[in-house]
Structure 1
Amino acid sequence: MNLTVTTPLAIIAKADHVVYVRAEDDTGAFGILRGHADFLTALAISVLSWRDEGGGEHHIAVRGGMLAVHDGNAITIATREAVADDDLHRLETEVLASFRRRSEDEVTARTDAQRLYLAAIRQIYRFLRPDRPVPVPRLAGPMSQEGLES
């Protein structure tokens, strides 16, 4: 099988003669062998592993993404961010923790932005509502309201 892992900025891995691929989506871990049915899934933040014909194990930490199997022979993965390293322990402890932290920070930032947006909409609504009394402008300084009336 052929395996290609890409990010928006680079091709992280391009491997031929892949025997087995292990990945993980929200339902859990799964394996792909040659001849697998066409398949599309959204990956979780996880470690993607594969074995080549020589028996070598390779690993890439992925920050989510999409995995597609085509014709039982081609596996393509598009992810936001990926780190290739054959040290599985380092990927599982350091890199995945970093990916999860950044993902949580993004969720917090989106939530804060949404709150600000909704507060602005509420304020605009309060200002534009039809039953709102229209304030009379008051002049300050040497020309007062009384000076205008004469």
Structure 2
Amino acid sequence: MTDDSLSLTIATPARVVVDGLAIVSLRAEDASGGFGIHVGHVDMVTLLGASVVRWATPDGTAHFCAVDGGVLIVSNGATVSIACREAVLGESLQGLEAQVHGTRETQLDAMRRARVEQTRLHARAVRQMLRYLRPQAARGVPQ
């Protein structure tokens, strides 16, 4: 990192998505609206909503990352750190949109499967309790 660049780190609980990447500017969005960060920015902490964070590297390339909420911290006017629940990188907004939709569908499918399994386990537990509470009926003995 040089004096005219920032260091960017984006992390989720499961992985580090961007690790100390040199950038020249960053654009993000919190509850008050969009804002930009450049070298020398005052220290700050803010909560990000579900949004797209954009940044430019020293070669002028734009990069994008969809974040599912999180915390953005600027330290010493040279370091930007984002901690978020989920992050999806993309090289273009159109490509990122498709990736986010795919990721979201995968998450929804996993949640549906977990709900079905939870219901199945609950029903099994109720049947076991009924067998325990009415042992004669379970064995076919009239009450």
Which string of whole-angstrom CA distances, capped at 9 and with x for unpartnered residues, describes residues 88-146 of structure 1? Answer: 123346627949x97xx9xxxxxxxxxxxxxxxxxxxxxxxxxxxxxxxxxxxxxxxxx
Q: CA RMSD in A?
A: 2.3
Q: In 2, distance between residues paired with 1:32 and 1:53?
A: 14
Equivalent residue number for residue 5 of structure 1: 10
Counterparts of residues 63-142 of structure 1 (less than 5 Å): 63-92=68-97, 95=100, 98=104
Higher share in strand: 2
Q: Percent identity?
A: 39
* Residue 37 (1) aligns with residue 26 (2): no
Tell me how far 1:72 sits from its aligned partner.
0.3
1:52 maps to a residue whose letter is T
Q: Distance in 2 between matches of 1:19 and 1:94?
A: 25
**Counterpart in 1 of 2:22?**
17
Note the 1:41-60 alignment, pairs <5 A. 41-60=46-65
Mark the runs of 5 or more structure 1 residues left unpaired by the alignment. 106-150
- Runs (4+) off by over 6 Å: none
Question: In 2, are the aligned partners of 1:47 and 1:91 still within 8 Å (CA)?
Answer: no
Q: What is the rounded CA distance, in whole Å, between the counterparts of 1:43 and 1:83 in structure 2?
A: 15
Shift of 1:16: 3.1
> CA contact under 8 A between 2:88 and 2:99: conserved in structure 1?
no
TM-score (norm 1): 0.61
Larger Rg: 1
